[in-house]
Amino acid sequence: MKNTVLLTVSGFVVGGMCLVNSGCGAPAQKHPIMDVVRVVYEVGHPGVILGIITRPGQAPECMYVLLLKAPAAGVAHTQRTDGGETSFNDRDVEVTQPMMLDGCRIEIHYKLDFGTGTESLSLNDTSIDLKKGRVFLVERTTASPVYSQKDASLSVLGAPKLDDEYAYNAATELSKNDAEIKQFLEGK
């Protein structure tokens, strides 16, 4: 049987926070699932983008986290998802998720080879060495975001879930364990 992938960008709207919901692929968990959970940020809360994969018979695993400072109070902010793409075959999956946040374009491109476990990540066409870390602090002060890569442990996040509470708790847990992440999210 060929490996196929179900891509889901899961979501809800709760208290002004929203996650975008769309999906494609096979209906049953007989195949690997790649989730890109994008929390659209609001005043007072950081933005969190999670890449989560669930392989058949295995627990979900967080592959990367992008953290964004919360938008300033009193400043209009906008967000838009420019659609997303997924492609897969019997060997690998590729996910591309572009979005605009306050005029700042962020595009995530993730690829995983099922057989070898080889993976790649690029942010706005810049290749990332995931051996140097899977947490990214995203500064959106210009049209082109600046990324700071951190080698923070994702194990503090616990088992990934596809809900807004898990995403916001991810930011909190990472900031508890890393002073630089805490300073970044607090705007210092």
**Single-letter residue type at 30:** K
| 1 domain residue, yes or no | no
The three-state secondary structure class of 21 is coil
At residue 180, does pLDDT exceed 70? yes
At residue 25, does pLDDT exceed 50? no
Give the model confidence (pLDDT) of 77-92 as tens digits.
Answer: 566 666 677 776 667 7
| 153 domain residue, yes or no | yes
Phi/psi of residue 20, nearest 5 degrees: -90, 140
Please tell me which residue, 8 or 69, carries the higher pLDDT value. Answer: 69
At residue 141, does pLDDT exceed 50? yes
Q: How far apart are CA 142 and CA 151, in angstroms?
A: 25
Q: How far apart are CA 46 and CA 41, in angstroms?
A: 6
Least confident piece of the model among 4-8, 89-93, 109-113, 181-185: 4-8
Please tell me which residue, 107 or 9, carries the higher pLDDT value. Answer: 107
100 pLDDT band (50/70/90 cuts)?
Answer: confident
| 163 domain residue, yes or no | yes
Q: How far apart are CA 128 and CA 118, in angstroms?
A: 13
| 88 domain residue, yes or no | yes
Least confident piece of the model among 73-77, 92-96, 128-132, 161-165: 73-77
Q: How far apart are CA 71 and CA 58, in angstroms?
A: 36
| 134 domain residue, yes or no | yes
Please count the structural domains in the chain: 1
Supply the range of the domain harboring residue 99.
6-185
Please tell me which residue, 121 or 52, carries the higher pLDDT value. Answer: 121
| 63 domain residue, yes or no | yes
| 77 domain residue, yes or no | yes
Structure tokens at 48: 């969190």
Residues in contact with 182: Cβ distance below 8 Å, sequence separation at least 6, in sequence order: 175, 176
| 112 domain residue, yes or no | yes
Nearest residue to 35 (alpha-carbon basis) of 18, 20, 46, 14: 20
